[in-house]
């Protein structure tokens, strides 16, 4: 028999493949947002875009969003950073790397041969914030061949001591830690669906996602399939506050406070003179050149046109990119993901005001071909809303993550579907020289060039790309300008424009 091998669900070294029963696609489950939710065993529900927004977004001002893509192995991961507190982001990145390593380790050479390729998608949710602590839950959805499931891991960051905490760090003595494990086991035992052996003694590594509700109870979140069959969805053990309090370390008490009563973290970057402040100032400044009205689009059947496209942003490097484009009066197209559009509305508005085109790259960067139609529709609709809120207009194009689409996905899209025919592989190289060389080598009239403005190395390559192509007579146009002569239609896929003269 073919053994289905899901990733080690976010827990290094713990293989739960043996617990996987059946091969049906489990519904995505959503965990409660701590701080405002006292439900201990949530019913499995669609964990759509709402789940990834987490705590009130206003708590996030001063915190940047980071993400990374692996377009070959279908990996997308988002996390948070604070410029003045590098360990906050690094702690999340280390946890992500373990999840990625486990996924990659389980990929077989023929994994991508099937109709539904594998995928790893990690979204991050802020679950606690205070002057002392920040908490981020990573929800890692792994799809492996025939079956998918989510793993949960919460990374707590101690801002005072500048270190990332493990669940063990939340408890005082070894005895207190053992008591916590026993309390977790008791809660699991009360759930009929939990495997008996896990109810006796849950492996310590399974206790890697602990959050707190508004009453101060601990919510211990278990990965799909780890302690119960997939039909049980996300299992959450609630440890009553009274039982918990005597066991917590000083750090654990601070974590609990940050989770049960989250406070804004806007001061996080105040102390630093960082690029975010500079970019806000740039965003507020009037555009020196390149206002859309000053330029008429070339006829790309006659002119030598090229469309530079930037995915997965906007991000902290995007304002710099916009300045570079403005210097060359170049237009580009930005395929944005919803959470970044919501986090950087000023940058997005600045891009739109400068005449760049904004496309929809979904909310959570999941491969749309494996999602139920309703969920895929929601991925697109919520990003439409985030872009509209920022710029006043809905996206005019759609690029499905990984370029993964089919007739069923295209039917859900209200705009032309845009892929590419030049891939700089910038996500892989992370080297400005290599990216610039790749773009210049493969450029051709009518090309749609794929890059990512979330990588500073990609943005650093842009001046050379603009100089080099301009010297060859290229005009830098948006995708809709490139395709204008073919009157692009909704639900049709395009990956290049006319070759010009
Ligand atoms: Ni992407």
Tell how far the Cα of 365 is from the centroid of ligand 1, in angstroms: 6
**Which residues, at least 6 apart from 163, have a Cβ–Cβ distance to it below 8 Å?**
87, 91, 157
Tell how far the Cα of 216 is from the centroid of ligand 1, in angstroms: 38
| pLDDT attached to residue 201 | 76
Tell how far the Cα of 160 is from the centroid of ligand 1, in angstroms: 35
Task: Of 312, 317, 463, 323, give the one whose Cα is nearest residue 402.
Answer: 312
Tell how far the Cα of 313 is from the centroid of ligand 1, in angstroms: 9
Tell how far the Cα of 228 is from the centroid of ligand 1, in angstroms: 33
Question: Would you call 328 exposed, middle or buried from its count of C-beta atoms within 10 A (0-12, 13-18, 19+)?
Answer: middle
| pLDDT attached to residue 363 | 95
Q: Which residue numbers are catalytic? A: 311, 452
Which parts of 261-330 fold into alpha helices (H)? 275-284, 318-327
Tell how far the Cα of 74 is from the centroid of ligand 1, in angstroms: 9
Tell how far the Cα of 311 is from the centroid of ligand 1, in angstroms: 5
* Residues lower than pLDDT 70 in the chain: 1-61, 266-294, 501
CA–CA separation, 345 and 386 (whole Å): 8
CA–CA separation, 45 and 217 (whole Å): 22
CA–CA separation, 460 and 463 (whole Å): 7
Q: Answer whether 136's CB lies under 8 Å from 15's CB.
A: no
Q: Which two tokens stand for residue 347?
A: 């940058």
Tell how far the Cα of 458 is from the centroid of ligand 1, in angstroms: 14
Tell how far the Cα of 414 is from the centroid of ligand 1, in angstroms: 19
CA–CA separation, 339 and 209 (whole Å): 22
DSSP 218-261: EEEEE-TTTSS-GGG-SEEEEEPHHHHGGGB-HHHHHHHHHHHS
CA–CA separation, 138 and 12 (whole Å): 14
Tell how far the Cα of 402 is from the centroid of ligand 1, in angstroms: 6
CA–CA separation, 320 and 405 (whole Å): 32
Helix, coil or strand: residue 127: strand
Task: Of 208, 215, 204, give the one whose Cα is nearest residue 239.
Answer: 215
Tell how far the Cα of 69 is from the centroid of ligand 1, in angstroms: 6
Tell how far the Cα of 70 is from the centroid of ligand 1, in angstroms: 9
Helix, coil or strand: residue 304: coil
Tell how far the Cα of 496 is from the centroid of ligand 1, in angstroms: 18
| pLDDT attached to residue 61 | 65
DSSP secondary structure code for residue 170 in this structure: G
Domains and their CATH numbers in the chain: 2-260 (3.30.565.40), 298-494 (3.20.20.370)
Interhelix angle 345-353/373-391, nearest 10 degrees: 70
Q: Answer whether 38's CB lies under 8 Å from 239's CB.
A: no
| pLDDT attached to residue 56 | 56
Q: Which two tokens stand for residue 233?
A: 């969805």
Q: Answer whether 334's CB lies under 8 Å from 356's CB.
A: yes
Tell how far the Cα of 358 is from the centroid of ligand 1, in angstroms: 14
């Amino acid at each position: 028999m073919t053994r289905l091998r899901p990733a080690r669900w976010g827990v290094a070294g713990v293989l739960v493949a043996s617990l996987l029963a059946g091969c049906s696609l489990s519904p995505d489950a959503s965990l409660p947002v701590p701080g405002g939710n006292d439900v201990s065993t949530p019913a499995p529900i669609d964990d759509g875009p709402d789940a990834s927004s987490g705590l009130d977004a206003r708590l996030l001002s001063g915190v940047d969003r980071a993400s990374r893509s692996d377009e070959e192995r279908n990996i997308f991961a988002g996390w948070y950073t604070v410029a003045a507190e590098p360990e906050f982001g690094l702690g999340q990145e280390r946890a992500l790397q373990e999840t990625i390593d486990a996924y990659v380790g389980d990929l077989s050479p023929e994994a991508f041969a099937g109709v539904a390729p594998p995928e790893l998608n990690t979204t991050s949710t802020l679950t606690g914030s205070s002057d002392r602590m920040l908490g981020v839950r990573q929800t890692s959805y792994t799809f492996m061949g025939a079956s998918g499931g989510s793993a949960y891991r919460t990374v707590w960051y101690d801002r005072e001591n500048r270190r990332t905490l493990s669940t063990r760090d939340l408890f005082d003595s070894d005895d207190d830690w053992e008591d916590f494990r026993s309390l977790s086991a008791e809660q699991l035992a009360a759930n009929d669906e939990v495997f008996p052996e896990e109810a006796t003694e849950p492996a310590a590594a399974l206790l890697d996602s602990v959050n707190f509700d508004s009453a101060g109870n601990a919510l211990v979140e278990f990965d799909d399939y780890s302690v119960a069959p997939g039909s049980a969805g996300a299992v959450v053990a609630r440890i009553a506050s009274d039982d918990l309090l005597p066991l917590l370390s000083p750090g654990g008490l601070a974590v609990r406070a940050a989770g049960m009563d989250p406070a804004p973290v806007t001061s996080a970057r105040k102390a630093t003179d960082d690029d975010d402040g500079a970019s806000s100032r740039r965003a507020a400044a009037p555009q020196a050149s390149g206002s859309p009205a000053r330029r008429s689009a070339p006829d790309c059947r006659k002119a030598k046109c090229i469309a530079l496209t930037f995915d997965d942003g906007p991000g902290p490097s995007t304002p710099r990119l916009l300045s570079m484009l403005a210097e060359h009066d170049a237009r580009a197209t930005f395929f944005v993901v919803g959470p970044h559009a919501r986090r950087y509305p000023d940058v997005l508005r600045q891009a739109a005001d400068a005449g760049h085109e904004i496309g929809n790259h979904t909310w959570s960067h999941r491969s749309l071909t494996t999602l139920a139609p309703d969920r895929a529709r929601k991925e697109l609709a919520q990003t439409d809303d985030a872009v509209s809120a920022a710029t006043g207009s809905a996206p005019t194009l759609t690029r499905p993550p990984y370029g993964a689409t089919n007739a069923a996905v295209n039917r859900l899209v209200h705009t032309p579907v845009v892929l590419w025919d030049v891939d700089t592989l910038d996500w892989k190289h992370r080297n400005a020289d290599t990216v610039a060389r790749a773009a210049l080598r493969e450029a051709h009239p009518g090309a749609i060039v794929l890059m990512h403005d979330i990588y500073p190395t990609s943005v650093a390559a842009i001046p050379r790309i603009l100089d080099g192509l301009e010297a060859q007579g290229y005009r830098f146009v948006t995708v809709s300008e490139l395709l204008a002569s073919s009157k692009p239609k909704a639900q049709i896929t395009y990956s290049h424009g006319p070759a010009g003269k």
